[in-house]
Amino acid sequence: MTGDWLDIGWVDEIPVRGSRTVQVAGGDDIAVFRTAEGKVFALLDRCPHKHGRLSQGIVYGGAVACPLHNWRISLSTGEALGDDKGCTPTVPVKIDAGRVLICRASTLKAAA
Amino acid sequence: MEHTPLKAKADTREHLVVIGNGMAGCRAVEELLARDADRYRVTIFGAEPRVNYNRIMLSPVLAGEKSFDDIVINDADWYAANGIALVAGDPVAVIDRAAKTVTTRGGTTECYDRLLIATGSDPFIIPVPGKDLPGVIAFRDMDDVDTMLAAADAGGDAVVIGGGLLGLEAAHGLSLRGMKVTVIHLMPTLMERQLDEAAGWLLKNALEARGQTILTGADTAEIVGDGKVEGVKLKDGTLIPASLVVMAVGIRPSVALARDAGLAVGRGIQVDDHMVTSDPAVLAVGECVEHDGQVYGLVAPLWDMCRSLADGLVEKPSGYRGSVTSTKLKVSGIDVFSAGDFSGGDGCEDIVLRDASRGVYKRVIVKDDRIVGAVLYGDTADGSWYFDLLKKQEDVSDLRDLLIFGQSFASGGGAADPKAAVAALSDDAEICGCNGVTKGQVVACIAKGARSLDAVRGTCKASASCGSCTGLVENLLALTLGDEVQAGPKTMCKCTSFGHDDVRREVVAQDMRSIPEVMQKLHWTTPDGCSSCRPALNYYLLCALPGDDVDDQQSRFVNERLHANIQKDGTYSVVPRMWGGLTNPTELRAIADVVEKYDAPMVKVTGGQRLDIFGIKKEDLPAVWADLNAAGMVSGHAYGKALRTVKTCVGSEWCRFGTQDSTGLGVKIERMSWGSWMPHKFKIAVSGCPRNCAEATIKDFGIVCVDSGYELHVGGNGGIHVRVTDLLCKVATEQEAMDYCAAFIQLYREEARYLERTAPWIERVGVEQIKARIVDDAAGREALRARFLYAQSFSQDDPWAQRAEGAEREHHAPMARFTPQEEMA
């Protein structure tokens, strides 16, 4: 599988208001989220605060709450919300005929 | 069509017939009933097939913030309870003043002694070609909203003609519903009747930033389409595609019935100060009337008119003197306020404050040392103060230098004290614009016993509609009740104005069954809550509905979702249950094997007398649990808001000081209570003698055995704030100790707030209250115990076993794996 996008599976495999991970050999996992509205986002699975696994947080609105210290991270920008400062790299995502595709270059960067 | 029986049995009272089941008609009847409930027999005719609702709240319904049920003012019970006959869905077609009858389109004829016309207004449809095409609608009633919602479901483009209040609200709602919206406005600035040019411009920019297209100075030439609307053509030739066109260019008093009946009609139905028309038997009220040359299209004058009308009907005439109107509203989430005359002119002086970065604009217009108008944009907190000064025609020359900074500065307070601001308002200052409630009425309602926001909403309806006056009402509560209200519960989180106790009570009272249902019925302000309220709601539902499948995994913290404790490196720790702190070779061997098999880097003895296996990877959890299950062990819930451990000492079986079998009792209690979800974690201990080796007096429930029985202690905590337990009581037998324990747990489950440990809960409600429920009230105790055991019959299902068998596998396995080298090869 080559090209600019990596096919990681069906949208339905991601629970609504939940997330799944993509394991990247030699690097951080990528967390793929699905919101209540059905939008899909991907971030490095790493909170900017203490590197908590964002994929394990509670997803609400367009944000995820980190399970370690409840930092709230915007799914679309990766920026910490509220008074906290920090940013998690985002990974471009697109949906094609029900399949979830994530940006290959960003994924390779995660492995680097 | 909804018909209620028209003919009551021989009723000799005068018959009041009301044409119009809207806000004015029903408000007039409410005012009348408040004065003399028995004086008239009342029949109301409504054109719409529904009960009386708050028309100005249609915008939130369109925007998805409210449902129709939320905006009903008087439900069917109100009509029944007051003996009012309602004919809904069959509009009156003819008034025969000579015969004193009205006849509906459906042919029903009814006699009247007094007739009240409250037909409101009709939307103005601009006479352009194509105005009758399907897909061209007004924004006036619930049917229009339904049409818009259906159009929004199909998606596409919408055009709203008219950039006034109604048009912008329609545009906002349609935009929120996903349509691409263009607003066409004839005038150069938006809402020119309520806002000056500067505020109109700020509003236009803000709406454009939210994705709407706003065309000002745009004149509609025709609506085009073949069989249905396809677009709008402007006089300059521009064609804007649209599958829906909403005409919101204005309203006209609905006078056709009155004119046909020969009543005096100017711009509206002409009435005197008592709302009586040219025929003494016929009255009129609301947007359909003309009083002293004025017609009104806002809700506030209606309240004044209805008061005067009702005073006249019970022969205590007061007389309506016209209204000075103000507009306070949220357009697309932006606060806007205006009042009085802001067109300027001779002798008018403007005081203006602009704060561009905050998007705030304030302008107060003063003439002869009196406020004649005000326009506020972005910050409308002082609107009611300016409006009050304006209506009272107060001399503001002393305040002038500080006037624009708002009430708190101008009154010399310096730092803003919202309570002082509310205290300074006069009794007839309007607090709730949606329901026409004054400060005096809110205070009276508090004085009569409404001691919470909810109670105020329920009685006088202030803050019950759009909620923008909630802060004012809360300040009035604080002012009127002093410290009594200070102890009132805080809201659950920013998503709601309700506190934990209110939410919980409503969940039970209304038999709610899902988190979305709670959020809908209690007006959550966010679409799916937040990480604070979702776990709380999930718990409240679980507790209220034992045995029902209501658990929402996505509303649980990760530890409860994965039944293990997340650690800082993203691995998990696993604690199998060791009943009462007892173990055996099989269990120890299985734990040792798991540690080796899954390379767990550390095993630790916990403070709760069991073993914690650290460093387990998320994907290995189901296999670890399968291995532990095979040795007979189940989840220790070390991760949950649930029963953690029952710590014991060795007791009379071995210890020379032991008075009772503390270990055996601990095991029995743990077997009874494990698996139960609670507001927070819950720890139990049983000590075999007063030396208290199991530290029972810093546990949520602690038992200290003595020669003559068992001392039961509650509300201890060994955390940041160490708290020693309160003694609940002493019992004689093991069975009693267990029964009291079960009852106490259930009381805590049902009445403590989510994330409230027993210690702060007991400090909040008082241990006497707990004793009264558990110790003094034997029947209550037994009922609590029975409810706990019933709930337990569903919850003692080992979550590990379910997961080991493959349940919710997606929580553990990655969705995909990616190896850059392989992929590039």
Question: Which tens digits make up the pLDDT trace of B16-44?
Answer: 999 999 999 999 999 999 999 889 999 99
- Residue B807 clears pLDDT 80, i.e. is over it: no
Q: In Å, how far are B15, B73, B85, B91, B529 from B40, measured between CA atoms? A: 6, 21, 12, 22, 48
Q: Chain A: nearest CA to B399, how far in angstroms?
A: 38
- Residue with the bigger pLDDT between B325 and A104: it is A104
Confidence of residue B708 (pLDDT cuts 50, 70, 90): very high
- Residue A1 clears pLDDT 50, i.e. is over it: no
Q: Residue B818: which of A2, A24, A35 has the nearest Cβ?
A: A24
Residues in Cβ contact with B369 at an 8 Å cutoff, skipping those fewer than 6 apart = B395, B396, B397, B400
Confidence of residue B331 (pLDDT cuts 50, 70, 90): low
Q: Chain B: nearest CA to A60, how far in angstroms?
A: 5
- What is the mean predicted confidence (pLDDT) over B369-381? 87
Q: Residue A67: which of B534, B558, B817 has the nearest Cβ?
A: B558
For each of the domains in chain B, give its residue range(s) and CATH number, in order of start. Answer: 2-122+253-313 (3.50.50.60), 136-249 (3.50.50.60), 500-556 (no CATH), 559-635 (3.90.480.10), 643-797 (3.30.413.10)
Is B810 in Cβ contact with A15 (below 8 Å)?
Answer: yes
ipTM for the complex?
A: 0.86
- Residue B489 clears pLDDT 60, i.e. is over it: no
Lookup result for tokens 């998690």: A88
Q: Residue A61: which of B527, B535, B556 has the nearest Cβ?
A: B527
Confidence of residue B414 (pLDDT cuts 50, 70, 90): very low
pLDDT of residue B70: 84
Residues of A in contact with B568 (CB under 8 A): 50-52, 68
- Residue with the bigger pLDDT between B60 and B791: it is B791
Of B764, B671, B752, B690, nearest in space to B723 by CA: B764
pLDDT of residue B467: 63
- Is residue B320 classed exposed, middle or buried when 0-12, 13-18 and 19+ CB atoms within 10 A define those classes? buried
- Residue B412 clears pLDDT 80, i.e. is over it: no
Q: Assign residue B322 a region: left if phi > 0, alpha if psi is -120 to 50, beta otherwise?
A: left
Residues of A in contact with B554 (CB under 8 A): 15-18, 58-59
DSSP B283-304: EE-STTEEETTB---SSHHHHH
Q: In Å, how far are B112, B545, B737 from B46, measured between CA atoms? A: 16, 41, 64
- Is residue B626 classed exposed, middle or buried when 0-12, 13-18 and 19+ CB atoms within 10 A define those classes? middle
Name the token pair of B797: 């299902």
Residues of B in contact with A36 (CB under 8 A): 527-528
Strands B72-74 and B52-53: antiparallel
Residues of A in contact with B815 (CB under 8 A): 8-9, 13-14, 20-22, 32
Of A91-95, B365-369, B700-704, the poorest mean pLDDT is in B365-369
Confidence of residue B418 (pLDDT cuts 50, 70, 90): low
User: DSSP alpha helices (H): ranges in B183-299?
Assistant: 197-209, 256-260
pLDDT of residue B344: 67
pLDDT of residue B1: 44
Q: Show the CA angle centred on residue B332, arms to residues B439 and B464, nearest 5°.
A: 30
Q: In Å, how far are B159, B188, B583, B626 from B703, measured between CA atoms? A: 71, 78, 21, 34
CB pairs under 8 A between A and B: 97
pLDDT of residue B825: 36
Is B815 in Cβ contact with A20 (below 8 Å)?
Answer: yes
Consecutive H or E run containing B157: strand B157-161
Q: In Å, how far are A32, B242, B670, B722 from B758, measured between CA atoms? A: 38, 60, 18, 12
Is A58 in Cβ contact with B557 (below 8 Å)?
Answer: yes
Q: Residue A58: which of B534, B568, B821 has the nearest Cβ?
A: B534
Q: Chain B: nearest CA to A8, how far in angstroms?
A: 6
For residue B376, the one-letter residue type is L
Is B526 in Cβ contact with A57 (below 8 Å)?
Answer: no
Please tell me the total count of domains within chain A: 1
User: DSSP alpha helices (H): ranges in B211-327?
Assistant: 256-260, 300-313
Q: From start to end of chain A, where are the E strands?
A: 5-10, 18-24, 30-34, 40-44, 58-60, 63-65, 72-74, 90-91, 93-96, 99-103
Is B527 in Cβ contact with A36 (below 8 Å)?
Answer: yes
pLDDT of residue A41: 95
Q: Residue A60: which of B534, B557, B810 has the nearest Cβ?
A: B534
Contact B632, B612 (CB under 8 A): no
Name the token pair of B785: 């115990």
Of B677, B703, B681, B700, nearest in space to B690 by CA: B703
Contact B508, B522 (CB under 8 A): no
Nearest CA in chain B to A11: B815
pLDDT of residue B822: 53
For residue B306, the one-letter residue type is C
Give chain B's mean pLDDT.
Answer: 88
Confidence of residue B133 (pLDDT cuts 50, 70, 90): very high
Q: Chain B: nearest CA to A59, how far in angstroms?
A: 7
Q: Chain A: nearest CA to B817, how far in angstroms?
A: 5
Reduced to 3 states (helix: H, G, I; strand: E, B; else coil), residue B270 is strand
Buried b (16+ CB within 10 A) or exposed e, B176-190: bbebbbbbbbbeebb
Of B107-116, B742-751, B791-800, the poorest mean pLDDT is in B791-800
Contact B480, B462 (CB under 8 A): no
Name the token pair of B164: 């006034």
pLDDT of residue A48: 92
Of B579, B562, B697, nearest in space to B632 by CA: B579
- Residue B486 clears pLDDT 50, i.e. is over it: no
Query: For residue A49, what are the domain limits?
Result: 5-111
Mutate to test the interface with B, among A60, A95, A103 (most CBs of B within 10 A): A60
Q: What is the CATH number of the domain that holds A14?
A: 2.102.10.10
Confidence of residue B678 (pLDDT cuts 50, 70, 90): very high
Confidence of residue B824 (pLDDT cuts 50, 70, 90): very low
Is B807 an 8 Å CB contact of chain A?
Answer: no
Lookup result for tokens 């994705």: B211
Residues of B in contact with A111 (CB under 8 A): 818, 820
Is B825 an 8 Å CB contact of chain A?
Answer: no
User: Which of A79-83, B10-14, B542-546 is most confident?
Assistant: B542-546
**Whole-number CA gyration radius for chain B:** 34
Nearest CA in chain A to B820: A108
B 549-578 residues inside an 8 A Cβ radius of A? 553-559, 561-562, 566, 568, 570
Mutate to test the interface with B, among A17, A30, A44, A107 (most CBs of B within 10 A): A17
- Residue B663 clears pLDDT 70, i.e. is over it: yes
Confidence of residue B2 (pLDDT cuts 50, 70, 90): very low
Is A6 in Cβ contact with B810 (below 8 Å)?
Answer: no
The DSSP bridge partners found for residue B629 are none
- Residue B533 clears pLDDT 70, i.e. is over it: yes
Buried b (16+ CB within 10 A) or exposed e, B355-382: eeeeebbbbbbbbeeebbbbbbbbbbbb
pLDDT of residue B487: 44
Residues of B in contact with A107 (CB under 8 A): 818
- Residue B92 clears pLDDT 50, i.e. is over it: yes
Q: Residue A60: which of B531, B556, B820 has the nearest Cβ?
A: B531
Of B684, B677, B644, nearest in space to B752 by CA: B677
Is A57 in Cβ contact with B558 (below 8 Å)?
Answer: yes
Confidence of residue A105 (pLDDT cuts 50, 70, 90): confident
Rounded to the nearest 10°, the torsion over CA B369, B374, B379, B382 is 50
Mutate to test the interface with B, among A16, A46, A56, A84 (most CBs of B within 10 A): A56
